[in-house]
Amino acid sequence: MKVLVIGAGNMGLTYAEGMAKSSLLNHRNLMIFDKSAEVITTLSKVDHFDVYDDIEECLPEADIVFLAVKPYHCDSLFEEIRPLVNDQQIFVSLMAGVTIDKIQEGLDVKKVVRSMPNLPAQVGKGVTSFTEAKEVSRVELLMIRNLLDTTGASIHVQTENFIDASTGISGSGPAYVFYFMNSMLEAALKMGFSKNDSKILVSQTFEGAVKLFNESDLSPSTWMDRVASKGGTTRAALDSMDENNVEELIKDAAYAAFDRAVELGKE
């Protein structure tokens, strides 16, 4: 099995590195292509995969092709590679908002998997949702899932609507967490902690809370009750959030990203 990643930016490189570190592929079976000469020069020094600056040399060799260019580059990419693809190849798109139909039409192929990754994939803690065209077999899908899992975890969803929905939760989600972290950092600094101490206080709090959550069957609201006692400090903070409707505002934000993903898919 030979895999080609088209687009060696944040996501393409992250997936290439995840797959390279796994035992699924030997590095001669992993190819990466980018149109930028600068990127190619930098990557040529890396020994994890074969780097190509000529699509004609690598694309016909590939069984699985990851599409990792920006969504607004997809039309020009499709035009460029359409004459080189064949209908046995499987195309795995990481592109936000680009539908399976559009990829099938743009490339004149059938086997397409659409996925939505997120940024923590860079540290092996990503989560990718994915769904497929009906022409992708179960065995092929399992193979793709194993490749996606090299950057963290994955969930299989039944329809593309869930890909857009997961954009609102996990795709854009890291930014919501950073937003919350940023507010807590600013509060810590305002209280007089040094930058370094503020960072330790905030990052350990996030990491610790996630670990507690992951290592138990308790819901976040049960954990909230465990931290908060009646008339105590945490209750004061949670009451302040409730009075300001923070929960609803966070839900609205997730829906704003979901709606925008749907909108982008129509553009």
Ligand X SMILES: NC(=O)c1ccc[n+]([C@@H]2O[C@H](COP(=O)([O-])OP(=O)(O)OC[C@H]3O[C@@H](n4cnc5c(N)ncnc54)[C@H](OP(=O)(O)O)[C@@H]3O)[C@@H](O)[C@H]2O)c1
What are the binding residues? 6-11, 68-71
Match 């793709």 to its residue by tokens.
Answer: 144
N- to C-terminal Cα separation, the chain = 35
Contacts of 135 (CB under 8 A, 6+ apart): 110, 111, 112
Query: Contact 157/131 with Cβ under 8 angstroms?
Result: yes
Identify which of residues 227 and 254 has a Cβ nearer to ligand X in the complex: 254
Query: Contact 78/57 with Cβ under 8 angstroms?
Result: no
CB of 132 to ligand X, least distance (A): 17
Backbone φ, ψ for residue 95 (5° rounding): -80, 125
CB of 196 to ligand X, least distance (A): 27
Binding site members for NADP(+) = 6-11, 68-71
Identify which of residues 68 and 136 has a Cβ nearer to ligand X in the complex: 68
Cα 32 from Cα 74, distance rounded (Å): 17
- Residue ranges of alpha helices (H) inside 44-159 are 55-58, 74-81, 100-107, 138-148
Best CA proximity match to 17, nearest among 92, 121, 89? 121
CB of 17 to ligand X, least distance (A): 12
Identify which of residues 6 and 65 has a Cβ nearer to ligand X in the complex: 6
Binding site for ligand X (CB under 6 A): 6-12, 33-36, 39, 68-71, 73, 76-77, 80, 94-96, 117-119, 171
Contacts of 18 (CB under 8 A, 6+ apart): 121, 124, 150, 151
Identify which of residues 132 and 188 has a Cβ nearer to ligand X in the complex: 132
Identify which of residues 18 and 171 has a Cβ nearer to ligand X in the complex: 171
